[in-house]
Amino acid sequence: MTRQAARGHAHLWFVGPALFLMFAILLLPIAVAAGLSVTDYGLGNLSNEFVGLQNYERIFTRSTYEKMFGATFRYVGVVVPVSVALGLGAALLIHSLGRMGDLYKTIYFLPVMAALIAMAIVWEFALHPTIGYVNRGLELSCGTVLERLSFFAEGCDRTFPLWLTDRDTAIWTVAFIGVWQGFGFNMVLYLAGLTGIPRELYHAAEMDGARSAWERFRLVTWPMLGPTTVFVVTISIIRSFQVFDMVEAFYPQGGGPSKSVYVMMFAIYEKGVQQNLMGIGAAITVVFLGFVMVLTLLQRRLIERRTHYV
């Protein structure tokens, strides 16, 4: 066999395994999910009836799932913009400090490294309504000038927020932890983007009369970070749609006070795994995939439109 022929076949061995696994692990399950979503299948069940679109109908009509969408979109709606904005802000500040910023960079990235399940347990303790550090810290304000503010006055009078156990605050508190955990990752991506901006562009902007930091940001930094922003937003959306660890740790039963933190991943887990209602779990999976794919495809369109100048 000539070398040319060997090279001719090599790609089969190189691409084959990856191709097979892509089909078996990523594409086939989508088909399986789509298939299961129109049945009432359960592991070990003998019955496996075709139920049509009944599962989907339930998802879009029952109040439980209304809560599921509400919780998911609240979470995503807060975590994506806030963690992207904080990531960008931190990156800009740290970048402008040069080497002195390295310590902050390290610190802000720590939550990305730490197991979220562990940190969730810590946050749960810290946010405990009575013995938690947060409310004990807030109680220190009682009797001080801070008490003039209505938040502190109410807190000292009755109780400070219950955070994770109050249905009005629970989802926002979980979202806060999500931001805490994720913005450092965005920051690192933005820092990489910032180092990629040629310094001469800033000098050109100065020569062109861009006098304020804001004008330099508008003329150079923000447009040059365009592709980074698209990427960061995509990653943030995918990550925040998948929030699960915290919710399961805080609320093993039922998704929080009044199901206010009943996010989609938890719903899939609860319906499919805990209650063995594979049909409905699969239907949520399909809806979920639909959201994520549509959003990321939109993002990719943006990338293609915006990066052709590179």
Partner 1 sequence: MAEAATLTMRGIAKAFGATPVLHDVDLEVRAGEFLTLVGPSGCGKSTLLRILAGLEAADAGTVSIGGRDVTGVRAADRDLAMVFQSYALYPHLSVAANMATPLVQRELSAFGRLPVVGPLISRGARKRIAARVEEAAEILEIHTLLERKPGQLSGGQRQRVALGRAMVREPVAFLMDEPLSNLDAALRVHMRAELAALHRRLQRSFVYVTHDQAEALTLSDRMAVMRGGRILQLGAPDEVYNDPATLEVALFIGSPRINTLPGETDGAGRVSRMGVPLPLRAVDGRAGPATVAMRPEHLAVRSFPSPDGLTGRLTYAENLGADVYLHLAVGDGAHVVIARAEPQVAARLSSGDDVHVEQVRGQALVFDARGDRMALAEEAAAVEAVA
Partner 2 sequence: MSDAAIAAPRVESQGYRFPVSETIKHAVLIIGALIVLFPFYVMISLSLKSPPEILQNIGGFFGSQETFIDDACLIVGGTEEECLKNPVVYNYTTAFEKAPLVRYMLNGVIVTASIFLIQVLIALPCAYALAKLRFWGREAVFGMVLFCLLIPVHAIALPLYVMLAKLGLTNTYAALVIPWTISVFGIFLMRQFFMTVPDDLIDAARMDGMSEYAIVWRVMLPTAIPALTAFAIFSVVAHWNDYFWPRIVITGDRTLFTPPLGLREFKGDADGDNYGPMMATAVVIVTPLVVAFLLAQRRFVEGITLTGMK
Show the DSSP H helices in the chain as ranges. 3-21, 28-36, 54-61, 63-97, 102-113, 116-126, 133-139, 150-157, 170-195, 199-207, 213-216, 222-224, 226-241, 245-250, 264-268, 278-306
Q: Of partner 2, partner 1, none, which one does residue 93 interact with (CB within 5 to 8 Å by kind)? A: partner 2
Q: CB-wise, 168 or 206, nearer to partner 1?
A: 206
Interacting residues with partner 1 between 221 and 250 (CB under 8 A): 223-224, 226
Q: Of partner 2, partner 1, none, which one does residue 219 interact with (CB within 5 to 8 Å by kind)? A: partner 1
Q: CB-wise, 47 or 195, nearer to partner 1?
A: 195
Cα(57)–Cα(62) distance, integer angstroms: 8
Cα(60)–Cα(82) distance, integer angstroms: 28
Q: Of partner 1, partner 2, none, which one does residue 18 interact with (CB within 5 to 8 Å by kind)? A: partner 2
Q: CB-wise, 35 or 223, nearer to partner 1?
A: 223
Q: According to the binding rule CB under 8 A, does residue 208 interact with partner 1?
A: yes
Interacting residues with partner 1 between 62 and 81 (CB under 8 A): none
Q: According to the binding rule CB under 8 A, does residue 220 interact with partner 1?
A: yes
Cα(183)–Cα(239) distance, integer angstroms: 11
Interacting residues with partner 1 between 163 and 202 (CB under 8 A): 198, 200-201
Spatial CB neighbours of 292, under 8 Å, sequence gap ≥ 6: 237, 238, 241
Please give the angle made by the CA atoms of 259, 113 and 183, to the nearest 5 degrees.
65
Nearest to 124 by CA among 85, 75, 78, 162: 162
Q: According to the binding rule CB under 8 A, does residue 211 interact with partner 1?
A: yes
Q: According to the binding rule CB under 8 A, does residue 308 interact with partner 1?
A: yes
Q: According to the binding rule CB under 8 A, does residue 310 interact with partner 1?
A: yes
Chain residues in the site for partner 1 (CB under 8 A)? 198, 200-201, 203-211, 215, 219-220, 223-224, 226, 306, 308-310
